Amino acid sequence: MPATTKKAKTKLSKLQWRNRNKVLGNFKLGIKASSNARKYYIKLASHYAQLSNIRQDTIHKMTTDLSRKVYCIRIEDLNVSGMIANHKLANAVSNNCFYEVRRQLVYKQVHYGSKVEIVDRWFPSSKKCSLCGHIQSMKLSDRVFCCHKCNHTLDRDENASINLENAPDKLVRSARP
């Protein structure tokens, strides 16, 4: 999470905590929101807008930078809706805004002449040893890949990205805007 997002998130939770006892109103119960509560709602909305702006800005910078520097970008076809249904993954995935990153990379192809390729979601990029090809199970919390067969050890994401680079052609398709 970028530092600016973290700061904005902290500010937001502080605002919510300070206003925890406000009479926020409930339409069903016929309770009207107090005027202070209404002011709080407006403030809250602007905090959410700010957070989404920071996020959007960060993603744009990142995807532009990538599209400029790299000719061929391979990404995994993650099953994001499935991951969001999984509680533990939900926050990580929505924070990283996977779909938005992918969408931007795909449409920026035209501007920057880059090429985006999608690797099939069933390709075991994280579970495969990038050196000997051995496949083993990996927990999400395992940040380092340590091959049980050849002892090859490296960062989980690095291992996965080497595998993506070497993925068989039949599992790779190009992403069209």
- Positions in the binding site for Zn ion (CB under 5 A): 129, 131-132, 134, 147, 149-150, 152
Q: Which helix (H) or strand (E) holds 118?
A: strand 115-119
Name the minimum Å distance from CB 177 to Zn ion: 37
Nearer to Zn ion, 38 or 134 (CB): 134
Nearer to Zn ion, 9 or 152 (CB): 152
d(CA 58, CA 61): 5
How many CB atoms are closer than 10 A to CB 90? 12
Name the minimum Å distance from CB 134 to Zn ion: 4
Name the minimum Å distance from CB 146 to Zn ion: 9
Q: Which helix (H) or strand (E) holds 119?
A: strand 115-119
Nearer to Zn ion, 40 or 145 (CB): 145
Nearer to Zn ion, 73 or 129 (CB): 129
Instruction: Give residue 29's Cα distance to chain centre.
Output: 38
Alpha helices in 35-175, H assignment, sequence order: 35-69, 80-85, 87-96, 98-112, 156-165
Which amino acid type is present at position 45? A
Name the minimum Å distance from CB 132 to Zn ion: 3
Only one residue has tokens 């960060």, namely: 58
Name the minimum Å distance from CB 159 to Zn ion: 10
How many CB atoms are closer than 10 A to CB 56? 13
Nearer to Zn ion, 104 or 159 (CB): 159
